Amino acid sequence: MRILIVDDEVIIRTGLCTVIDWKELGLELLPAASSAEEALERIPVEKPHIVLTDIRMSGMDGIELARQVKLLLPDTEIVILTGYDDFSYAQQALREGVTDYLLKTSRPEEIIKAALKCKQNIMDKWESVKQDMLQQAALRTQLLDRVLNRGLQEDEHALDQLMVWFRKYGVDVYPDSGLPAPMQVLLLYVSGWGESPITELLQGAAENILFELIPCVTLMNKDHLLLVVRHEAGFTDQAGLTKALKRVTDTLKCSAFAALGTVAPDFNGLRESYRTAKEVFAYQGLIGTKGLFTLEDIRERSGGRTVCTEKEEAELTAILMSDNATELRHWVNQKVRALMEDTAATPLSVQGYLQSMMIAGHRWLERACSAQNGTASLSTLPVYEGEGRPEDEVFKVLSAVMTRFHQGLDQNRYAYVYKSIAYIRDNLHQPISLQQVAGFVHVNPNHFSEVFKRETGCTYIEFVTQERMKRAIDILQGTQTKVSDIARRVGYEDIKYFTQQFKKYTGRTPSEFRQGNKD
């Protein structure tokens, strides 16, 4: 906050500047002015918040100076100093909006008190303006949110408010004709300065530049800017907006991804423009990370795959079993990168595939934990929030799944048995010998066979056969997969032998079992 002292007597000027520690009061002391005329020349440039001036000076007096200052800067606080204890001067000074009236013989503490009173008055005004601006911004935000999400529904009062606001920034009318102008919603994400709160500063800087370049009203959201832009061919059409965005990225040394909605002929059409802008904006990362995009850029996308293949799920379970975070990170990055590069992918298909990856991890954890005669508490695992980079979010969830399983193993003396059970269940589709499983858990086959039978209550062969039959039952009950395919999926190339084992386990052939469940 700045203070300017005006007095034609050098002794008074010097005394006021040196006797009081203005910096200690939170005030920046500007160079003193030796006349009202000098002060008036400098005030428009230096914009003091407080003026401390003599009344009687050669040339223009302090009361006329106060009047002129109030015309230039109405919110400036003025304190009059005089050597004349004349009430008429005080009355005239107060009429010109002077805050206080002091004699030159006043003690320093009285001058300090007057200055602090002025400072408080200014701070109160600032707070009032701030609250008013916040209130107006909140009202505008509510109004804009309403027109974009629900429509005005013939609310003439709301429409009038919206028109006043838009007209103020040249959005809804052409300057010359006064005719309604078409508008478009633009959603903008700027990046390149690091994480929040730096991102918020970047977003604000981008908003300021665009506000100067194009006729628009803006709304700052959590992670992007929303702009309603007046549509004008050759100025704010797609080519014009691309040029404006380039100005932003060149000036701020950042990247920008923008989604442009359809042209709205009037306020009622803004809802559709916003809907299409959001639809395009959801493709960020799929159609690119920078540039200006429209519906035309996504029209041909029909959707990519949404479910992990059996091969991918087997790859994932092998990695989770190995407890190798580096390998897991590489696998997730590779799958997500391929997913994002699929030219048919849509946000919905991407979301489905990412969910499929995480469900596969959760399904494995439940199977693996059941081997330890326990159940996995999935509620305490991190969930996919969809706010960060997809590969980071998926890795976080799957890494937690892997950690949960291996922490459980560490608490068991015969952890290798339960690790082997999880391995068996993940590999029922292929031949798995006792020697192979013992090698996987790094235990002597004979010792492994003995401990395995003691911990599970059955031999290795009996256990594998039971698990294969359980898996076959699950597939029979949940799908219409052919019996021959089911046999292969649970590790039997000989369908006749599979049928014999299944009947021995259930008392019925696979076909009889399926038919019985239908009945």
DSSP string, 39-82: HHHHHHHH--SEEEEESS-SSS-HHHHHHHHHHH-TT-EEEEEE
Quote the CA–CA distance of 119 and 185 in Å, as a whole number: 43
C-alpha angle 476-480-484 in degrees, rounded to nearest 5: 70
335: its two tokens: 């799958």
Note whether 73 and 47 are within 8 A (CB).
Answer: yes
Q: Locate all alpha helices (DSSP H) within 96-184, ordered by sequence.
A: 108-149, 156-168
Of residues 519 and 127, the one with the higher pLDDT is 127
pLDDT in tens, 380-424: 565 666 667 889 999 999 999 888 887 766 566 677 887 888 888
Q: Which domains are assigned to the chain?
A: 2-124 (3.40.50.2300), 180-297 (3.30.70.270), 300-411 (no CATH), 414-519 (1.10.10.60)
pLDDT in tens, 49-77: 999 988 888 889 888 888 899 888 988 99
Comparing 9-13, 84-88, 190-194, which segment has the lowest mean pLDDT?
84-88
Whether residue 44 has a cis bond before it, omega within 30° of 0: no
Helix (H, G, I), strand (E, B) or coil at 428: coil
Please state the length of the chain.
Answer: 519
Q: Tell me, what's the pLDDT at 460? A: 92
Mean residue pLDDT of the chain comes to 85
Q: Tell me, what's the pLDDT at 176? A: 61
Q: Tell me, what's the pLDDT at 129? A: 76
Q: Tell me, what's the pLDDT at 162? A: 73
Note whether 93 and 101 are within 8 A (CB).
Answer: yes
pLDDT in tens, 131-186: 765 666 666 777 777 778 776 665 666 677 777 777 777 777 655 655 668 999 99
- pLDDT-derived band at 218, boundaries 50, 70, 90: confident
Quote the CA–CA distance of 507 and 519 in Å, as a whole number: 17
**Average pLDDT for residues 204-216, to the nearest whole number?**
89
- pLDDT-derived band at 313, boundaries 50, 70, 90: confident
Amino acid at 143: L
For the chain, state the CA radius of gyration: 38
Note whether 161 and 229 are within 8 A (CB).
Answer: no
Helix (H, G, I), strand (E, B) or coil at 106: coil
Q: Tell me, what's the pLDDT at 255? A: 92
Total Cβ atoms within 10 A of residue 484: 13
Quote the CA–CA distance of 359 and 377 in Å, as a whole number: 14
Q: Tell me, what's the pLDDT at 253? A: 92
Q: Tell me, what's the pLDDT at 6? A: 92
- pLDDT-derived band at 366, boundaries 50, 70, 90: confident
pLDDT at residue 25 is higher than 60: yes
Q: Tell me, what's the pLDDT at 412? A: 63
492: its two tokens: 């039997």
Q: What phi, psi does 36 have (nearest 5°)?
A: -65, -35
Q: Tell me, what's the pLDDT at 384? A: 60
Helix (H, G, I), strand (E, B) or coil at 188: strand
Quote the CA–CA distance of 271 and 150 in Å, as a whole number: 7
pTM: 0.60
pLDDT in tens, 102-115: 887 888 899 999 99
Quote the CA–CA distance of 464 and 434 in Å, as a whole number: 10
Task: Please list, residue by residue across 311-349, b when 16 or more beta carbons sit within 10 angstroms of its beta carbon and e when fewer do.
Answer: ebbbbbbbbbbeeeeeebbebbbebbeebeebeebbbeb
Note whether 85 and 114 are within 8 A (CB).
Answer: no
Q: Locate all alpha helices (DSSP H) within 214-309, ordered by sequence.
A: 238-252, 270-281
Amino acid at 203: Q
Q: Which residues are bridge partners to 54 per DSSP?
A: 81
**Average pLDDT for residues 18-25, to the nearest whole number?**
90
Note whether 337 and 296 are within 8 A (CB).
Answer: no
- Strands 255-260, 77-82: pairing is unpaired
pLDDT in tens, 250-308: 999 999 999 999 999 888 888 899 999 999 999 998 998 899 999 999 998 998 889 99
Quote the CA–CA distance of 82 and 98 in Å, as a whole number: 13
Note whether 27 and 119 are within 8 A (CB).
Answer: yes
pLDDT in tens, 422-463: 888 888 888 999 999 999 888 898 988 988 888 888 899 999
Q: Locate all alpha helices (DSSP H) within 150-237, ordered by sequence.
A: 156-168, 198-213
